[in-house]
Amino acid sequence: MEAGKAAGTDSREESRMIKVNVKFSGRSIPVEIPLDSTVRDLKSILQPLTNVLPRGQKFIFKGKVLVDEMTMRSSEIINGSKIMLMATQGLHQGDGPIKQEAPAIEKNLRRRTSELLKANKEVSVPKSQLERWKATGIIALSECNLKAIPEEVWMCGPSARLLDLSHNSLLQLPDKIACLSSMQKLLLNANDLSDELISWEGLTSLKSLTILSLNQNCLAVLPSAIGALTSLRQLLVENNKLTCLPTEIGLLTNLQTLKAANNSINDIPASIGECISLVEALYTSNNGLRSLPSTLFKMCSQLSILDLHGTEVTMDVLRQFEGWDDFDNRRRLKHQKQLDFRVTGSAEFDEGADKRY
């Protein structure tokens, strides 16, 4: 009996499905495939999707070329892996999609995928919990070891006001996010989200969103569509891989707090000055900033916190900006209020701007 159970477990493990993203000609092709399928199997699946013959396909993963006999497992490919596909010139089949019947291997893999998805359907959220979500509008799912968002979340629809999915292993934010049309706070901290697997179209349709927190993910780009979130008051994108902020950031006229520490941002667009409600801006360590828009203090007339530790922006530079005196008064007043709650031996306050002597 025990041997039978073990054999069943091994069978399920061998046929476990993973989802990979194949990068080809500027697009990302999502593919679900059993973990122990070979590279040759993957080529067969991609033939009708790319119009490239298997012998003309070459996969590169982590800098190594994958050979046909290797399996996903032996290649150390896991769920969410990104694989580069290079096509040999002259081995494409025509200009359009292939019309003939797909190879038998592809049919078998699709059948196995369907069967496995049915057999391994995720455990449903208890009805009582779903009803509580709908009644309170609060969906708290942080630290639940999630790799995908439960379907029951989407059943909450317009009743959802706060969704906390922080500290999971989510790889994707799907289009269905748009159905949570009354969402006000969305917390997605510490997942494995990359910008190309976030449905920005769905996300930016949430017109009531006031807090969007994407700290500790794998974001390389914030799209221009972010400017559609005109109700946003807090945008938190610390500890990502961002190199810039989009010009459309200036459309967020209700934005009060922008935190983007520990990225690789080298430049701030002048449009930041149009964020007239900005009170707290943090472009701190590991961002390589050398300058800020000179109109920042004049345009952002409510700004009172500007943390510039770890940048090359000096106090002497800031003092040359128009509106510095008003900003200086606001920040000192805020600092004085903080000092009222603690004992300190110095009133020195430099906002984090590095001093050069």
CATH number at residue 47: 3.10.20.90
Domain check: are 233 and 330 in the same one?
yes
Domain check: are 136 and 273 in the same one?
yes
| pLDDT at residue 322, rounded to an integer | 93
Say how many CA atoms lie within 13 Å of 244 toward its Cβ.
9
Domain that holds residue 322: 129-344
Return d(Cα 272, Cα 262) in angstroms, integer: 19
The share of the chain scoring above pLDDT 70, in percent, equals: 79
Mean pLDDT of 44-49: 86
More confident residue, 150 or 126: 150
- Is-above-0.75 flag for pTM? no
The share of the chain scoring above pLDDT 90, in percent, equals: 52
Are the CB atoms for 42 and 59 separated by under 8 Å? yes
In a domain? residue 110: no
What pLDDT, in 10s, does the model give residues 111-131?
544 444 444 344 457 778 899
Domain check: are 187 and 261 in the same one?
yes
In a domain? residue 137: yes
Sign of the CA dihedral running 135, 136, 138, 139: negative
Domain check: are 211 and 291 in the same one?
yes
Q: Predicted confidence band at 334 (pLDDT cuts at 50, 70, 90)?
A: confident
Q: Which residues lie across from 84 on neighbouring strands? A: 23, 60
| pLDDT at residue 350, rounded to an integer | 43
Q: How far apart are the first and last CA of the chain?
A: 78
158-189: burial string, b at 16+ Cβ within 10 Å, e else: eebbbbbbbbbebbbbeeebbbbeebbbbbbb
Are the CB atoms for 234 and 257 separated by under 8 Å? yes
What pLDDT, in 10s, does the model give residues 265-286?
888 899 999 999 999 887 666 6
Q: Predicted confidence band at 88 (pLDDT cuts at 50, 70, 90)?
A: low
In a domain? residue 40: yes
